[in-house]
């Protein structure tokens, strides 16, 4: 299964996204494009020491390490 196809099947599902700066974003995948830019809703952002609700987030794909389905 192609990564793009997999992302399509993940739409509207909960994901956990690891960014290059080690932040983890947990939320619902609302959209994505061919660069792996993504729109997430109901996001909780988990950094080294802090965790907070941040609503809707647009992530630039170049920062994404990996996406895990929750």
Question: In the complex, which residues of this chain contact a copy of itself (CB under 8 A)?
Answer: 1-7, 10, 19-23, 25, 30-33, 36-39, 54-69
Q: How far is the CB of 12 from a copy of itself (least distance, A)?
A: 11
Ramachandran angles phi, psi of 10, nearest 5°: -90, -10
Q: How far apart are the first and last CA of the chain?
A: 19
Q: How far is the CB of 58 from a copy of itself (least distance, A)?
A: 4
Q: How far is the CB of 65 from a copy of itself (least distance, A)?
A: 5
Ramachandran angles phi, psi of 3, nearest 5°: -50, -40
């Amino acid at each position: 299964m192609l990564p793009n196809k997999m992302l399509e099947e993940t739409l509207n599902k909960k994901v956990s996204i690891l960014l290059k700066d080690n932040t983890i974003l947990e939320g619902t995948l609302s959209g994505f494009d061919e660069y792996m830019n993504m729109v997430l809703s109901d996001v909780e952002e988990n950094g080294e020491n802090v965790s907070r609700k941040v609503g809707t987030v647009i992530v630039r794909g170049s920062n994404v390490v990996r996406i895990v389905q929750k």
